[in-house]
Structure 1
Amino acid sequence: MKAPDSKKTIAIIGAGISGLSAAAYAAQAGNEVHVYEKHAQPGGRARQFRTENGYVFDMGPSWYWMPDIIDNFFLDFGYKASDFYQLISLNPQFEMVFEDGLLTVPESYEDLKKLFEQLETGAGKKFDAFMSAAKYKYEVGMQDFVNKPCYSWLEFVSPKIAGSALKLDLLSNFRSYVSKYFSHPKLKTLMEFPVIFLGASPKNIPALYSLMNYGGYALGTWYPMGGFYQLVLGMKEVAEKQGALFHFNQNVEKIVTEEGVASGIVVNGEFKEFDAIIASSDYHHTETLLNSELRNYDQKYWKSRTFAPSCLIYYLGFKEKLPNLKHHTLFFENDLDEHIKSIYEEKKWPEKPLFYACCPSQTDPDVAPEGHENVFLLMPLATGLNDEESTREHYFQDMIKRLEKHTGAKDLLSKLNYKRSYGVDDFISDYNAYGGNAYGLANTLSQTAVLKPGIKNKHLSNLFYTGQLTVPGPGVPPSIISGKIVAKEVNKLKQTRREKII
C-alpha cells in the first residue's frame, strides 16, 4: 500500500477480522493506528475460549475456505499463512447425514467427480462444467468484483467486468442454476449448502455465488492446527509488526463530531482525539454512537433489510471419543427448504431443523484432553427470536439424539463434562449485533455491491465502516477484503483532521 497523503492518527473500533485487516493495512501505510476492543481478546466472532478442564473452543468460524484469499493478506506484508500456523487439508472435507444415508465429500477433486457420477449418470462431466464456470466467477469475482469501495456502479464499468457480465450470472438465481446441471436431490443439496449462510434461500441468491463451490470444494477444506483462532493471532501479529497498537477491555461509547468531521471517540468515559475513525463494530450499533442526524441509515432502513441468519451454538466436551464422527458433519435429515422458510419467511424457531457439528479434536489433539472429544453444534436461526434457555435446551436434546443415532454412541448426556450454549441474545450482548445476527446482511441481488450499506459516512468526511454488514459481505475472506478496502479509502484523505480533512 502506497504512503498516505498525510500521516494520520486512526482509531479502529473493534478487533474482529475486518478490524484486524484494516489495522494492518492502515498502519502499513505509515499511519498511527489504535484499535479499541471491548473484549479482553481480538477476533470478534472468531474469538476462542479455554475451559478449566482442558477444552479449547473456537467460538465462531470453523470452515477454512478460500485459502488463497486468506494467504493474500499475509503476502501483502511479506509473509505466508504458514509463517503463523500449520494448515491441514481435511479428508474427507465433510460428511452430510441424510435420512437414507451418508454423503462423504472427499478431499480429491477427481474422487469428488467420481462421487457425482456414481449418484447420477453424466453428473461427472457436468460437475467439471459447473466447477469450470465457478472457477471463472471465483477468479473474476474475488479479484475484481469484490475489491471495490462501491460508491457508484461506475466502478464496475471496465472492459473485463463488462465482458464477464453474462458469465458471472448475476441475474439468475442459484437454485435454478444448480438444477441446470444436476437432478439428484443429494447433489443439489450438496451444491446449495454453501450459500445458506449468505442469508437467503438459494432461490434468492445470485448464481454468481457458485464461486463458493469452487472456493471450497476445489480449493479444499482446511484446518489451522490450534484452531481457527490462529488466523486471528496471525493477523494481529502482522498488524502489530506494522505498528498498530491494540487496547483491550476498551468500550467505545460515543463518536464525537464537530463541523462535518469525527473529532474522536469516548472510550470508557475518556475522550480520545483522532484524524479518522474506522468502525469494524456492528454497522447499526456504530451509528447509535452518533447523533441521529449524522447517521447514514434510520431504523426503518435496518428493519427493511434481509439479514443472514443468527444461530444457536453449543460448545460441548465429552469425556470419551465419539465413533464415526468426522471433523465437519452436516445433519440434513430434514427438509432444507422448510428450515430456510422458518429463517427468512416465517421468522420462527424451526420445527424440523438442520444443524452442523464440528469436531476439531478428530484432527487436533490439543483442543481436548487426551481421550476426550471437543464438539461444536450450530443450528441456523432467524434473527430477532425470543431466545429462552428452555427453548435452547429443547433443540439441544434434539441435536444430541441425532448425534447419538449417527455415531452409534449411547447416552451422550452422561458423558458430557462441559456444556455452554450461545444464541441470539449472546450475539446482541457480545457484539451489539442487530437482531442477534451472526453473519451480517444477506447477499441477495438487492443487497449486493452498491446496494449494501456504504463504507463512508455521508455527513462526516473521516468516518468509515468495515465488516460483514457492508461490502463485500459476510464471511472471513470477505471481511479481510473489507478491511483492506476501507484502509485504502482512509489513506486517500488528503489532510489530517487538524488541517480539516477534505
Structure 2
Amino acid sequence: MQKKVIVIGTGLGGLSTALRLSTRGYEVEMVEKYHRAGGRLNLLEKGGFKFDMAPTFFSMSYEFEELVKDCNMPMPFEFVELDPLYSVHFEGDQRSYLIYKDLKKLALEFQNVEPDFERKITRFLKAAGQIFHDTENIVIQRNFDSLTQYLLKLTTVPIKHAPKMFYSMWREMERNFDSFEVKVIFSLVGFFLGATPFDTPAVYTLLNYTELVHDGYYNVKGGMYKIVEGILQELQKRGVQIHYNTEIVSFSKKDGEISSFTDTSGKEWKADLFVVNADAAWFRGAILKRPEFSVQKLDAKKWTLAPLTIYLGLDAKVPNMYHHNYFLRRNFEEYAGKIFKNKIKLDKPYYYVNIQSMHNPDYAPEGKECIFILCPVPDLRYKQDWRDDDEIADGIIQDLSDRTGFDFHAHTEVKVVLNPEHWEEMFGLYRGSGLGLAHDLNQVGGFRPKNKDEKFNNLYYVGASTIPGTGLPMTVISSRLVTERIQNDHGIVPKK
C-alpha cells in the first residue's frame, strides 16, 4: 500500500523532501502557515516591484544537481555564477574592494594594504580546503544515530584540524593576514552563519574555500524565487497538494506514534508519516511540549542573528554599485561583540545591500530598480520593542545615500521594512532568529536536534535547525538525510 506523508512547512528543506519522497512512491501532502511557499526563500511583491525576501545567493550548487538527479527531473532553474562575488565598502574610504575568485585580480585589490597577499591567501585557502574535504563526508553529509556515534566519527578527522575547533575565525585571520581590511572581509563568512567571526570556530574558514575555490556563489536567472517556483511545478505534476494559511498547533498520538496534527481551525491532518520543516528545536517545545525544549531551555541556546530587512522600489537606476555590497565601519570588533545582545546603538549599523534588478531586470519596471537591504540586529530576547524599525531603516538609507552619493530617499517609490517580530510571525522563526540555531561546536552534528524524533517513530525533521545546518545547500542536504532515514525505516513504496 502507498504510504502517506504530510510535510509541515514549505521551506526549501520541506519542498526538497517532498520531491524525494514522491520519487520513492510516497503520497505527499503539505501544509504551510504562510500564504506562499518557500519559507525564508520567499518573494515580496508591491507596487510593480518584486523582491527576493532573504537569501540572495548560494554556494555548493552541486547539491541542487544531486537533488534533481535523485528525483529524476530536469533542473528547473538556471544558475548565474557571481564574479566578482561581492564588494565591500569601509566607512571613510573613497574606494571599495571587489572580491574576485581569480586570486591575481584579488591580489591587485589589496596590493596597497596587504603585501604578499597572493602567497598568503593561497596558503590560507589550501588549509581551509583541507578542512573542507577532510570533514564534508564525515560531518556534513551523514546521519548520526547517537551522540556517541558522532563523537567517534569525529575521531577520524585528521588531528591537525583539532586546534581550529577551539579558537575563533578571527584569530585564524590574525594568524594569516596583517591588514584590518583583509581580516574583516574574509571573516564575513562568519556572518553568513548568523554569528560573528569572534565566536565562530576557526574550522569554518572552510567557507572561504567554498566561496573562492571550490564552487563560488550563484544567483538564479529570473530571481532566487525561481528555485521555489520550479520545484512547485514539479510537485504539481506529481499530484502533491499544498494547503496554505494552515498553522499547526497540536497533535494526537496512538500506540507510540503521531496519529494526526491539528491546525488553528480544528482540522486534523492524518498520515502514516510526518516531516516537520518548522524549526526543529522550537517545534519540539511549542507543539510537542517537550520540557527539554522549553522556552527557558531554548533561550539559553545560541541562536543566529535576527534580520532587519528593507525593500526599496526606486524610480531610477543606481549608478556605480555592484549586485552584492557590504557597508562596514572601522569599529569591527566592538560592533561584532555588542550588536547581537543589543549593547550598541543601531544608529550606525553594518549592513548588506543587494541590487536585485541588476541581475533580474524583470523584478522592477523599466528604468527602475529594486533594492534589498539586510541589517543583522539583536533577536527578540535582547530587543523586544521594534517600534523604532522605521527610524533605524531611515538611518541606514541615509547612510547609504551619503556613502554612495545617490539619494535613495528621494528616489524611493516603494518601501517595506520587516523587523524580527515580523519574521517570527511570518515564518515561525524562534525569537526572530534569521537562520535558526547557531553553529557552536555544542550545537552541530550529533549535538544538533536530530532529524528523527526521540519518541515517535513516524515523525521526522528537516531544515536549518536540524542536521547538517543552515543555508540553502545545507537544507537540500538535510532533505537527503531525512529521506535516507525514512527509506531505511519504511522502505521505498511501490506506486499505485
* 1:261 partner letter: E
SS of equivalent residue, structure 1 residue 202? coil
**1:206-217 maps to which residues of 2 (within 5 A)?**
206-217=201-212
- The 5 Å alignment of 1:112-191 reads 112-156=106-150, 162-167=156-161, 169-191=164-186
Q: Is the 8 A contact 1:328 1:357 kept in 2?
A: yes
1:391 matched to 2:388? The reply is yes
Contact 1:383–1:436 (CA under 8 A) maintained in structure 2: yes
Counterpart residue type for residue 76 of structure 1: D
Contact map agreement 2:198 2:337 (CA 8 A) in 1: no
TM-score (norm 2): 0.90
Q: Kindly indicate whether the alpha-carbon contact (under 8 Å) linking 1:26 and 1:488 is maintained by their aligned counterparts in 2.
A: no
The answer to whether the aligner puts 1:370 opposite 2:366 as a matched pair is yes
Question: In the TM superposition, what is the alpha-carbon distance from 1:98 to its structure 2 partner?
Answer: 0.5
* Structure 1 vs Structure 2 CA RMSD: 2.5
Residue among 67, 81, 84 paired with 1:89: 81
1:358 aligns with 2:357: no
1:249 and 2:245 are equivalent in the alignment = yes
Deviations 1:76-106 (A, max 9, x none): 22446xx322322233321111022411112
Structure 2 distance, partners of 1:142, 1:243, is 35
Note the alpha carbon deviations across 1:95-122, whole angstroms, 9 max, x for none: 1110224111125343224434553122
Is 1:227 matched up with 2:223? yes
Q: What is the CA deviation profile of residues 275-329 of structure 1, one whole-angstrom value per residue up to 9, with x for unaligned ones?
A: 111110123442356453x565223320110100101101100101111121111
Q: Secondary structure at the match of 1:255?
A: strand
* Structure 2 CA distance for partners of 1:150 and 1:304, relative to 1, 3 Å: farther
1:456 aligned onto 2:452: yes
Specify which of 429, 441, 447 is matched with residue 443 of structure 2. 447
Contact (CA 8 Å) 1:253, 1:269: kept in 2 or not?
no
Q: 1:151 to 1:110 in 2, by over 3 A?
A: farther
Moved more, 151-160 or 32-41: 151-160
Change (3 A) 1:172 1:280: same
TM-superposed deviation, 1:63: 2.0
Which residue in the other structure is 1:423 paired with? 419
Q: 1:213: Cα distance to partner?
A: 1.1
Distance 1:137 1:239 in 2: 37
For residues 195 and 324 of structure 1, the distance between their equivalents in structure 2, rounded to whole angstroms, comes to: 27
Q: CA deviation at 1:237?
A: 3.6
Structure 1 residues 168-218: Cα deviation after superposition (integer angstroms, max 9, x where no partner):
733332111122111111110111001113233313212221121122233
**Aligned-partner residue type, residue 313 of structure 1:** T
**SS of alignment partner, residue 256 of structure 1:** strand
Does the 8 A contact of 2:39 with 2:427 survive in 1? Answer: yes
1:333-389 Cα offsets, whole Å, 9 max, x none, are 242223322334446653531001100112221111111111011100111154656
Instruction: Give the Cα–Cα distance (whole angstroms) in 2 for the partners of residues 79 and 210 of structure 1.
Output: 34
Contact 1:356–1:378, Cα closer than 8 Å, also in 2: yes
Give the Cα separation in 1 of the matches to 2:491 and 2:357: 51
Report the alpha carbon displacement of residue 401 of structure 1 after superposing the two structures with TM.
Answer: 1.8
How far off is 1:153 after superposition? 4.1
- Conserved in 1, the CA contact under 8 Å of 2:12 and 2:39? yes
Equivalent residue for 1:202?
197
Matched-pair contact (CA < 8 Å) for 1:86–1:225: yes
Structure 1 range deviating more: 420-429 or 161-170: 161-170
Task: Indicate if the aligned counterparts of 1:316 and 1:416 stay in contact, CA closer than 8 A.
Answer: yes
Report the residue type matching 1:225 in the other structure. Answer: K
1:500 alignment counterpart: none
1:254-403 superposed matches below 5 A: 254-267=250-263, 268-288=265-285, 290-292=287-289, 294=290, 297-346=293-342, 350-384=346-380, 385-386=382-383, 390-403=387-400
Match of 1:138, SS? helix
State the Cα deviation string for residues 205-238 of structure 1 (Å, max 9, x = none).
1222112112223332322121111112233344
Structure 1 119/72 Cα, relative in aligned 2: closer, same or farther at 3 Å? farther
**Number of residue equivalences:** 486
Q: Secondary structure at the match of 1:203?
A: coil
Query: CA shift at 1:254, angstroms?
Result: 2.0
> Structure 2 regions of 5+ residues with no counterpart?
none
Q: Give the ranges of 4+ consecutive aligned residues of structure 1 lying more than 6 Å apart after TM superposition.
A: 157-161
Q: Is the CA contact 2:327–2:350 (under 8 Å) kept in the aligned structure 1?
A: yes
Which of 26, 29, 35 in structure 2 is aligned with 1:31? Answer: 26
User: 2:155, 2:239 → 1: CA distance?
Assistant: 36
- 1:398-451 CA deviation, whole Å, 9 max, x = no partner? 2112221232113x3221110001111111211122111111111111212111
Equivalent position to 2:100, from 101, 106, 113: 106
The CA distance in 1 between the partners of 2:256 and 2:321, in whole Å, is 56
Q: State the Cα distance separating 1:59 from its structure 2 match.
A: 0.8
Contact 1:46-1:59 within 8 A present in 2 as well? yes
Aligned residue identity for 1:167: H
Deviates more, 1:29-38 or 1:155-164: 155-164
**Among candidates 61, 64, 84, match of residue 70 of structure 1:** 64
Aligned match for 2:488, one of 481, 485, 492: 492
> 2:281 touches 2:449 (CA, 8 Å); kept in 1?
no
Q: Does 1:405 align with 2:402?
A: yes
Deviates more, 1:134-143 or 1:365-374: 134-143
Aligned-partner residue type, residue 236 of structure 1: L
Instruction: Tell me, in whole angstroms, the C-alpha distance in 2 between the residues paired with 1:457 and 1:451.
Output: 14
Distance 1:214 1:492 in 2: 34
